[in-house]
Every structure is written in structure tokens, then in C-alpha cells.
Amino acid sequence: MDTNGSILKLNNIEVMYHEVILVLKGVSLQVPAQSIVAVLGANGAGKSTTLKAISGLLKHEDGAVTDGSIEFMGQRIDRKHAEEIARAGIVQVIEGRRVFEHLTVEQNLIVGAHLRGGATVKPGLERVYHYFPRLTQIRHRLAGFCSGGEQQMMVMGRALMASPKLLLLDEPSMGLAPLLIKEIFTIITQLNQREQLPILVVEQNAKLALTVASYAYVLETGRVVMDGNADQLRDNQDIKEFYLGLTDLGTRKSFRDVKHYKRRKRWLT
Amino acid sequence: MDIFLQLIITGFMVGSIYALVALGWTLIYKSSGVLNLAMGELTLIGAYVSYTFYMWKIPFPLAVVFTLIIGVILGLLTERIFLRPLIGEPTLTVIMVTVGLSFFFRGLIFLFFNTDTLVFTPPVFPSEPVRLGNVVIGQVYIWSFIAALVLLAVFVIFFQRTRWGLAIQATADDEMAALSLGVSAKFVYAAAWAIAFMAAGVGGTLLGNINGINISIGYLGLLVLPAVVIGGLNSVPGAIVGGIIIGVLQNLAGGYLDPLTIAGFKVFPGGVKDIFPYVVMTIMLLVKPYGLWGWIRIERV
Ligand SMILES: Nc1ncnc2c1ncn2[C@@H]1O[C@H](COP(=O)(O)OP(=O)(O)O)[C@@H](O)[C@H]1O
Ligand SMILES: [Mg+2]
């Protein structure tokens, strides 16, 4: 893909946990300005690890980028602390809807603006309530008592409060009802188009991700095994077989089990 | 009956001071998971610092403000020098370091002061008591109560309304999520220690006005342990209620159990007042190990 105009570049990065467990074995990917890019893959493929490597949260799980580099808007960020990276404009929404349970919805959102100063709180809240009108009614409720969908909206809104230049979303659809998932993904598209916000979204739900993303990477045991434009991947036989239309993720076979996979892969790339 | 009321009321007022110190303790525990066994010494330091300012003829309110400032400085230094290098170390190591800190602080104090009881002179609060019907309450209790309430209110507003207060709560709830938004956990830990030193400093100052200042303030400061156990270690409202309960129970024990005689013989050799809170703590740990409000995990509806 086109290497110019990318806001984020991962060049062949290797990630290790606890200095011994090698999890990413040379991952390269790019996020062009103003686009949505998806990272697909089964459980344990290394999707979350990829996002944490970018946001710097990895260092707080005793992980490190041991090889390769990560560039954000022309700056190397793989050695920087999570706070610096957040300050530079990369905000990660961690998987699992990690709300601050004992704070209200609105207080959760205000924490999102922590780095941006008091003057941004009011316009920020207005923007979040505009995209997530459902949060307006429950603004004074304790976050721990909200439903899963509301919590997902809250963590996304909270990230928005930080005025990100790049948003990292980790499995926003996880455990939500189909209608809600649709709503969430509609909002993801809106955020991308109206705010010109580049988004890197990780999903196990490939079908859904490929409808909003323009480009996607497929990750398997720490390697990118396939990448391409979203419509290309949607028509790809292997993707169809193994990711689309399958809801039970655990029973999926590996790409490596497909005999013709290697041949096809060469075709694609 | 009047005695009973009087014990309850003064117990409540002293309890508000314990509540203040307990809040500081809980804050450190909530945000960084450190069980701080040096809280009594923090209280002790506060008492000596404000006493020193007061003896330099600085008006009492100003002396309290200076004590708060010194508290912030000492809190930041303590966190930076002793606690930060231990982030990620086993819990027991960190606890032992706080025990070490308690001896260190106590040693430091007795480098500068001797062990005699010191008294704020001239007395800060008027000595004639206030009468409410037949109940008699020393003014020092009333003023301490007011001061403790004011500071508790300031802390509550700080936590609910300010950027840093919310950041501290957020880190206590989910450190990783807070970090993803750029909230520095290190700064939060440091802030927690600074606030704990402030709370303990004012607590020590008030206790020093009631009882005079000597090493026993340190033991009074340690009463936060039963208080926070009753409240549930990680609950701020729990710490406040726990502190007040301990104050009341302690007073009642002192008023009724200590002088208790059966057939002319004293039942207890004395000092029940001092150990009673720990007895309550032990019972609490046996029947309700998570305290009144501890570890309430919010279940989603
Ligand atoms: N903190 C950690 N320490 C050690 N291993 C980890 C850690 N986090 C993840 N892993 C391992 O790294 C691999 C990839 O995990 P992850 O990135 O969470 O996958 P995904 O998000 O694709 O499900 C898994 O095998 C997992 O066990
Ligand atoms: Mg994951």
C-alpha cells in the first residue's frame, strides 16, 4: 500500500513479554491519514499486543518492542512512555470496556480530558453527547451500573474527550447484542468521516470490521499473514471460509491448515 | 444518661479526627495498594511540626496551613525516595518498608525533641467547656470536630470536582485505563502520599491539642487500622464512618469498662480504652473480613 501520507507506521516490530515470551514476530502495518484500518485475527493472535505496543501500555505489562520501529507523524514513539504517547495524540480504548466504576458517566468523560485542560471539557462533553446521545440521559449514573452498550459508548466517548489524532479501538463489539454493535460501528464511521479521525480497530468480527474499514491486516500467531483493501478481503475465499459468517471463533481452523493458502497469499500481496 | 451522651458526643468528635487520618490511609491503599504501617508516625510528625510553628509565635490557623504545606513536601519526598523504587515489588516487601519508615520517622522526631509531653502554650482553644443541658463538652473537642469536618469536606470536593481528584479516583478504579488517557500513576501515588501527610498532620495537630504531644499520638494515629478495617480497606466513606465508630467505642470503653468493678474488685487492670478498638477490629475480621463497605464490586444491572 501507499507509504506516503500514513500517520502511523509499524516497521517489522517484534514484541516480547517478560524478556522471554516472543509474541509479535515482525509486524508491519500502516494507518493512512483519515482512514479506518482493521486488524483481524483469532484469539491470542497478538492483536491487543499490537495496539499496546503503539500506545505504550505494553511497558506496564512488562512487555517491550525489541526490534523494529513505530513512527507516529514522522516521530519514533516505540521508546516513549504511555503518557507521552497519549499526549502526542494516540489514545487506546482498551478491550473489555474498562470504565471507572465508582465515577459517574460524566466524571468518566471528564477524566478523558485530563491532558487537554479545563477549557476543553465543556465543548468536549458537547461533542461526546452529540455522537452518543444515549449518554446524555445517564450522565449522572455510576459507570459501574451502566449496561454493556452504554459502557462501550462511555469508553469511546472518554477517548474522544482526549482529542485524539489517532484512535485505537480494541474489540468494540465484544459481547454486545447485534443491534448495539451496528449502532457502535455506525458511530465509528461517523467519527472517522466527520472528525477526520484515523482509527485503527481490532476485531474478531471480521465481517463487521471489513464493512467500515478501508484496509485490513490479518494477524496469526504474531505475524501478518494477509493484508489488503477491505473489499478485496471480503471476496477472498479463505477469509470467507474462516472469518466471515462464522460466529464460533474457537472452532475456526488455522490459515495454515489451508493447502492453497500460500499460493493465494502470493496472489494477494 | 448524661455521661453516656457525653461519651458518645466527645467520642464522635475525636472519631472525626481518626476519620481524617483514616481517609489519608485509605487513599494510599486505594490508589497504590500500599498498606502503610507508618500512618501513626505521619500523625506524630504533624503534631510536632505544628507545635514548632505555634511556639514560634505563628498564629494557630497559619501554623496549620504551614503544617499542610510541610505535609505535602514530606509526602512527595517519602513517595519519591522510599516508595517509588518499590513499584512492582511484592506486597510484603512494601509493607516492611513502611514499618522501617515508621522507625525512621520516630527516630527523626526524637533527634529534635525529647520524650516529655509537650503542650501548646498558650492553649489554642479556650478551656472553659460548653454546656448543652447537662452535657459538658470541652471546646477543644468542638473546634477539632469543626476543623476535621472542614478538611473532610475539602477532600470530598477535591475528589468529586477537580481534575486531579478525579484522576486519583480513576487510577484507583483502573490504573491501566487511566494511563491510556495520559493519567500518570506515579503522580497519583505521589499525590496520595501528599494528601495522607496533610490529613495525618492536621489529625496529629488536633490530637496534640486534646492530649498534649508525646509518642502516644503515634499510637492514636495507628487507630486508623481498626477504623479502615471496619470501613473496608478501600472505601473512603467507610474510612470516615470507621474512624467515627472507633472514636465512640473507645470513649465508651474508657467510660464504662475501665472503671468496671465487681464486688469491689476492678475487672480490668486499666487500658481497656486503648486496646478495645483492636478487639473490635479482630472481631470484625472474623465475622466480616471485608468490612462494612470494602470491595464492593459493582454488579451490572
Ligand atoms: N502480559 C502478558 N504477559 C505474557 N504473555 C502475554 C501477555 N499479554 C498477552 N500475552 C500473550 O500474547 C499472545 C497474544 O495476546 P493478545 O495480544 O492479547 O492477543 P489477541 O488480542 O489477539 O487476542 C497470547 O498468547 C497471550 O497469551
Ligand atoms: Mg485482545
pLDDT score at A255: 53
Mean pLDDT of chain A: 88
Q: Is the pLDDT of residue B42 over 70?
A: yes
Band (pLDDT 50/70/90 cuts) for residue A128 is: very high
Helix (H), strand (E) at residue B251: helix B236-252
The residue among B199 and B277 whose pLDDT is bigger is B199
Neighbours of ion ligand 2 (CB under 5 A): A 48
A155-196 pLDDT, tens digit per residue, is: 999 999 999 999 999 999 998 999 999 999 999 999 999 999
Which residues in chain B are contacts of A82 at CB distance < 8 A?
Answer: 179-180, 182
Nearest to B180 among A57, A101, A145 (CB): A57
A23-48 pLDDT, tens digit per residue, is: 999 999 999 999 999 999 989 999 99
Nearest to A102 among B163, B173, B184 (CB): B173
B198-248 pLDDT, tens digit per residue, is: 999 999 999 999 989 999 898 888 888 888 888 888 788 888 999 999 999
| Cell triple for B95 | 509493607
Whether the full predicted model's pTM is greater than 0.95, yes or no, is no
Q: Which amino acid is at A205?
A: N
Burial of B111 per CB tally in 10 Å (0-12, 13-18, 19+) = exposed
pLDDT score at A249: 47
Phi, psi (rounded to 5 degrees) for B139: -65, -30
A170 alpha carbon – ligand 2 mean position (Å): 7
Nearest to B181 among A60, A103, A162 (CB): A162
Choice from A23, A169, A170, A243 to test ligand 1 binding pocket (greatest atom count within 8 A of CB): A23
A45 alpha carbon – ligand 2 mean position (Å): 8
Q: Is the pLDDT of residue A268 over 80?
A: no
CA distance A7 to A142: 36
Q: Is the pLDDT of residue A264 over 60?
A: no
CA distance B17 to B14: 5
Band (pLDDT 50/70/90 cuts) for residue A3 is: low
pLDDT score at A178: 92
CA-CA-CA-CA torsion for A215, A218, A224, A225, nearest 10 degrees? -110
Return the residue matching grid coordinates 468490612: B291
Task: Please judge whether A100 and B178 are an interchain contact, meaning their C-beta atoms are less than 8 angstroms apart.
Answer: yes
Best mutation target, A111, A140, A156, A161, to test chain B (most B CBs within 10 A): A111
Three-state DSSP class for B113?
A: coil
Q: Is the pLDDT of residue B300 over 70?
A: no
**Which percentage of chain A shows pLDDT scores above 90?**
78
Band (pLDDT 50/70/90 cuts) for residue A259 is: very low
With a CB cutoff of 8 Å and minimum separation 6, the contacts of A209 are A38, A40, A201, A203, A216
B151-180 pLDDT, tens digit per residue, is: 989 988 998 889 999 999 999 889 999 999
Phi, psi (rounded to 5 degrees) for A60: -90, 0
- Going by C-alpha positions, the residue among B192, B40, B37, B47 that lies closest to residue B100 is B37
Q: How far is CA B90 from the centre of its chain?
A: 25
Domain definitions of chain B by residue range? 2-287
pLDDT score at A269: 35
- What distance in Å separates residue B292's CA from the closest CA in chain A? 17
B73-116 pLDDT, tens digit per residue, is: 999 999 999 999 988 788 889 999 999 999 999 999 989 988 88
Chain B: which residues have CB within 8 Å of chain A? 160, 163, 166-167, 169-170, 172-184, 298, 300-301
Which residues in chain B are contacts of A99 at CB distance < 8 A?
Answer: 174, 177
- Going by C-alpha positions, the residue among B239, B101, B234 that lies closest to residue B171 is B234
pLDDT score at A4: 63
Ligand lying nearest the CA atom of residue A170: 2
pLDDT score at A247: 41
- Classify residue B255 by its DSSP letter: I
Q: Is the pLDDT of residue A100 over 70?
A: yes
Query: Residues for chain A: how many in total?
Result: 269
Work out which ligand 1 atom sits closest to the CA atom of A202. Answer: 21
Q: Is the pLDDT of residue B48 over 60?
A: yes
B203 alpha carbon – ligand 1 mean position (Å): 47
The 3 state secondary structure assigned to A243-254 is: CCCCCCHHHCCC
Band (pLDDT 50/70/90 cuts) for residue A242 is: low
Task: Please judge whether A111 and B176 are an interchain contact, meaning their C-beta atoms are less than 8 angstroms apart.
Answer: no
| Cell triple for B260 | 468496671
For residue A41, the cross-strand partners are none
A188-231 pLDDT, tens digit per residue, is: 999 999 999 999 999 988 888 999 999 999 999 999 999 999 98
Task: Please judge whether B180 and A60 are an interchain contact, meaning their C-beta atoms are less than 8 angstroms apart.
Answer: no
- What distance in Å separates residue A92's CA from the closest CA in chain B? 6
Lowest mean pLDDT across A57-71, A136-150, A255-269, B60-74? A255-269
B1-31 pLDDT, tens digit per residue, is: 788 999 999 999 999 999 999 999 998 988 8
Three-state DSSP class for B134?
A: coil
**Which percentage of chain A shows pLDDT scores above 70?**
87
Which residues in chain A are contacts of B170 at CB distance < 8 A?
Answer: 100, 103, 108, 111
Three-state DSSP class for B242?
A: helix
Chain B nearest-CA residue for A58: B176
Mean pLDDT of chain B: 88
Average pLDDT of B243-270?
84
The CATH class of the B2-287 domain is: mainly alpha
Which residues in chain A are contacts of B166 at CB distance < 8 A?
Answer: 103, 107, 110-111, 114
CA distance B262 to B250: 21
pLDDT score at B291: 75
